[in-house]
Amino acid sequence: MEKVTLNVTGMSCGHCVKAVEGSVGELEGVNSVKVNLEAGTVDVEYNNQAVTLDKIKEAIDDQGYDVA
């Protein structure tokens, strides 16, 4: 399992948390995803044999948020 903390801008409310956690959490190979609104971060634990970091970033981007 890989763990990564991504800096994400544009998240400001509970809806943002649900959108990001829902979209990333649906990806095959993602074990856990946790949004920290105050810090503007998303912690993801995933199996790099099943999903790529680029795919995770793309899922966040597709929800309308910018991944640094």
Say which CATH topology domain 2-67 has. Answer: Alpha-Beta Plaits (3.30.70)
Strand order in the sheet with 2-9: 30-36, 41-46, 2-9, 66-67
pLDDT tens readout for residues 16-53? 999 999 999 999 999 999 999 999 999 999 999 999 99
Residue 68 has a pLDDT of: 84
Stretch (H or E) spanning 54: helix 53-62
Amino acid code (one letter) for 25: G
Q: How far apart are CA 41 and CA 48, in angstroms?
A: 20
Query: For residue 21, what are the contacts with CB-CB under 8 A and spacing of at least 6?
Result: 33, 34, 35
Residue 19 has a pLDDT of: 97
**Which pTM was predicted?**
0.94
Residue 65 has pLDDT above 90, yes or no: yes
